[in-house]
Amino acid sequence: MITVLLVDDHPVVRDGLRGMLDAEPDLEVVGEAGSGPEAVVLARALRPDVVLMDLRMPGGDGATATGRIRAEVRTAHVVVLTTYDTDADILRAVDAGAAGYLLKDASRAELTAAVRAASRGETVLAPSVAGRLVRQVRHPAGPSLSARELEVLTLVGQGLTNGEIGKRLHISEATVKTHLLRTFTKLDVSDRTAAVTTAMARGLL
């Protein structure tokens, strides 16, 4: 029996996944979590074979939780299941130790096959994700942005001022400016608009 922990901040999504997986004779959902930190606690307690992990959740993101689970529960294989397939999201998940990356439009057959493959220690990637990783290897996009730099740039793209970004992220306005200057250097741009546009063109946002 392959044991599975479901991690998603939407109960209706977890219910749907539980229904699909529990219908399989060799798969058993042993727990559900609604945030990254909760996932780490449950993974430590339940020690599942596979963790199906959403990527963007309030209260703690999936990539950070993936890294902690891989560090603390070495036998657990994490498969990211998300609606996002930007280069930045994929690379963060893979760097954190995810064994797979699937999109939520995957079929029931694809999902169950991925869970079984991950439990055997195999890597499972949605075709579009595999293609993006191959392109990244063949044509590196240059220096990568840190998680904090991506957070700041995302908020810039939403039209927030440096002061508003600082309050949202609980950092000083000077720190926001420092992150932006580093981002400008990495992206080889000179202003906020160009930084957002370039990041979006590269699939970072």
Euclidean distance between the first and the last CA atom of the chain, given in angstroms as a whole number: 39
User: What is the structure's pLDDT at 165?
Assistant: 95
Instruction: Give mean pLDDT, residues 122-151.
Output: 75
Query: Which one, of 150, 135, 136, lies nearest residue 183 by Cα?
Result: 150
Residues near 18 by Cβ (< 8 Å), separated by ≥ 6? 6, 29, 32
Reply yes or no on whether the pLDDT at 143 is more than 70.
no
Q: Is pTM beyond 0.85 here? A: no
User: Would you state the structure tokens that stand for residue 123, as one six-digit string?
Assistant: 């890597």
- Torsion over CA: 126, 128, 131, 133 (sign): negative
Q: Are strands 50-53 and 77-82 parallel, antiparallel or unpaired?
A: parallel
d(CA 119, CA 98): 12
Instruction: Give mean pLDDT, residues 14-30.
Output: 96
33-81 confidence digits (pLDDT tens): 999 999 999 999 999 999 999 998 887 789 899 999 999 999 999 999 9
User: pLDDT confidence of 142, banded at 50, 70, 90?
Assistant: low
User: pLDDT confidence of 137, banded at 50, 70, 90?
Assistant: low
3-state DSSP call for residue 5? strand
User: Would you state the structure tokens that stand for residue 88, as one six-digit string?
Assistant: 């930045």
